[in-house]
Amino acid sequence: MNIAISYRPRSLRFWRCYSSILLAGLLALTAMAPAATARDVQKLTSPAGISIWLVEDHGVPLVALGFALRGGSLLDPPGKEGVGSLYAQMMDEGAGDLDANTFKSRLASLGAQLSFSVSQRALTGGLVTLKKNVEEAAQLLKLALHEPRLEEAEFERTKRQAVAFLAFEQRKPERLAVRKFYEAAFEGHPYANAVNGTAESLRTLTVEDVRSQGAKLIDASQLHVVIVGAIDAAEATRLVDEVFSELPSGQGKQHTPAAIPPAKISKNISSPSGHAVATAVFALPMPRLGDQHFFTAMALNHILGSGNFDAWLTEEVRVKRGLTYSISSSIIANPTTSFSLGVLTTKPENMDQALKAVRAVYQRMKTNGPTQRDLSNAKNSLNGAYLLGIDTSAKLANQLLGLWVDGLGPDYASIRRSGLNRVSAADAKDIAQRVFDPDEIRFLIMRPANQGSAKPN
């Protein structure tokens, strides 16, 4: 009665932390013309100079406010991975005169939802509240931003939870395999580090570490705010100044790591967790965001790896051969890296057959390119999903924040649409040949221990 299972796998969302463009690519907003007018983004600047994007919508009496401070886990000092994330987790564990329990009780009495988190390149926060409670809820947000208490007892508990959480996340073979892929393909680069750290790094962290990381992360010069909901421009700017105008400004220094594609690895590992399935991660470098061929690559990757049942990988590996429930490939792109990342899980003894099919699909793309129908369906599908994926105010707010963090504007939706629509059959064939080379695929294959290890290539 409460358990339900789906025909289509839930998309493997966990690697989205690496990119908002990816999700822009998968979900996102205003792909179809009418929607752009339905959800117009107003660009505002508050009297105190804070930049705000506002989507005013009185359809439902709620307000979703999101903010981002550029920075994030890439600022974690070596050996202290996860410290930024832990700071975010501590922000609502009591603030100002309110201890953790009182703070959360106030919030709960308002029915408001407040959360803070860190991604690679930003600390973000979200407040979703009934319109009628927006003033009181905003005061709690303000308190958490300015005066988190960071008390020892709460800190120790939060840390224990964070360590246990990592263990739970990694019980899933796909997630573990992707993590291992990042560690291998970006070895020595900050991208190899997990946003939430490792059990080892978390255990060494102290309240002082977290406090000093907080001082780096809370930097008003890196602030941007998005509001979606039943609120007008005058109210929104006033509210934003009330909450944010006294935040300290840092030096505005940002850590932008060197641009880097995933290294060409071909790696077999044993699952440390006793999984009974085999998982393959496969990746290919892609044109960078801003490159004229970016959207061509997005369409081609979609044709192969959308996970829809007309996607080539799904057709070959699932529909025809019944080798897997789930296979897909997504583009991970941010200002400094761009690649496709695919994942497949199957019975260990079927992995070699599945990988052979994967390589054949890439070879077919390289040799033949897509058909006209493939290309046109991919454009429609990408554009359609972009509109439909943003179906709540909070999702829209998050989406817009992600665009800002990646240095894009709220008009990215239309840039994306026209970029996709411009992709010609000739472009597609050209990029298919240059980019979708099976010999360039990076592999990481995780098998149960004692299952032998066939070569991916």
Partner 1 sequence: MLHFMYLQQASRSATRDPTPREFGLRLLAPIACLLLFAFIAASGHMTAVHAGEPAPVGKTTSMQLANGLQIVVVEDHRLPVATHMVWYKVGAIDDPQGSSGLAHLLEHLMFKSFDAEADETFAQTMSRLGAIDNARTAHDYTYFYQRVAKEHLPKVMAIEARRMSGLTLTKEQVTTERDVVREERRSVVESDPLKLLTEQVQATLYQNHNYGRSPIGWSHEIANLQQKDAVDFYEAYYSPGNAIVVIAGDVTPQEVRQLAAETYGPVPAGNAASRLRLREPEPIAARRVELIDRRVPRPTLFRYYLTPSYNTASPGQAESLEVLMAILGGGETSRMHRVLVNEQNAALAVGARYFGKGRDSGHLALFGLVGQNNKMEKFEDALDALLADVVENGVTEEELTRAKAAIEAKLVFEKDNQMKLATSIAEALVVGRSIDDITALPDRLAAVTRADVEKAAREFLVARRSVTGLMASPPRPKGTAQ
In the bound state with partner 1, the residue whose beta carbon lies nearer, of 164 and 259, is 164
CB nearer to partner 1: give 57 or 209.
57
Residues whose CB is less than 8 angstroms from the CB of residue 64 and which lie 6 or more positions away in sequence, other chains included? 126, 127, 128, 227, 228, 229, 392, 393, 394, 396, 397
CB 336, min distance to partner 1, A: 14
Q: How far is the CB of 68 from partner 1 (least distance, A)?
A: 8
Closer CB to partner 1, 46 or 339, in the complex: 339
The smaller minimum CB distance to partner 1, of residues 103 and 362, is found at 103
Specify the residue, 396 or 431, whose C-beta has the smaller distance to partner 1. 396
Supply the minimum distance, in Å, between the C-beta of residue 385 and partner 1.
6
Q: How far is it, in rounded angstroms, from Cα 387 to Cα 389? A: 6
Place of tokens 């208490």: 149
- CB nearer partner 1, residue 45 or residue 380: 380
User: At its nearest, how many Å lie between partner 1 and the CB of residue 383?
Assistant: 6
- Using the minimum distance from each CB to partner 1, give the nearer residue, 46 or 57: 57
- Of 7 and 258, nearer to partner 1 (C-beta) is 7
Least distance CB 154 / partner 1 (angstroms): 9
In the complex, least distance from residue 294 CB atom to partner 1, rounded to whole angstroms: 18
Minimum distance of partner 1 from residue 75's CB (angstroms): 14
Q: How far is the CB of 1 from partner 1 (least distance, A)?
A: 3
Nearer to partner 1, 232 or 439 (CB): 232
Q: How far is CA 177 from CA 120, 172, 353, in A?
A: 19, 9, 19
Tell me 16's DSSP state. Answer: G
- Min. distance of Cβ 116 from partner 1 in angstroms? 8
Q: For residues 399 and 50, give the distance between their C-alpha atoms in angstroms, rounded to a whole number.
A: 19
Strand spans (E) along 196-235: 223-229
Are 79 and 148 a contacting pair, CB within 8 Å? no
In DSSP notation, 285-345 reads E-PPTTSTTHHHHHHHHHHHHS-STTSHHIIIIIIIT---S-EEEEEEEETTEEEEEEEEE
Which residue(s) pair with 340 in the sheet? 284, 331
Among residues 21 and 438, whose Cβ is nearest to partner 1? Answer: 21
Among residues 16, 82, 245, the alpha carbon closest in space to that of 90 is found at 82
Neighbouring CB atoms inside 10 A of 320's CB total: 10
Using CA atoms, how far apart are residues 234 and 31, in angstroms rounded to an integer?
28
Among positive and negative, which fits the CA dihedral 270, 274, 279, 281? negative
Neighbours of 188 (CB within 10 A): 8
Sheet holding 122-130, edge to edge: 42-45, 51-56, 223-229, 62-70, 122-130, 113-118
Q: Give whichever of 193 and 237 is closer to partner 1, judged by the CB atom.
A: 193
Contact 263, 185 (CB under 8 A): yes
Helix axes 425-435, 294-305, angle to 10 degrees: 80
| Residue 99 beta carbon to partner 1: minimum distance, rounded to whole angstroms | 10
Closest C-alpha to 239, from 250, 249, 231: 231
Asked if residue 344 lies in contact with residue 326, where contact means CB atoms within 8 angstroms, the answer is yes
Distance CA 457, CA 454 (A): 9
The CB-of-320 to partner 1 minimum distance in angstroms stands at: 7
Please report how close the Cβ of residue 138 comes to partner 1 at its closest, in angstroms.
Answer: 15
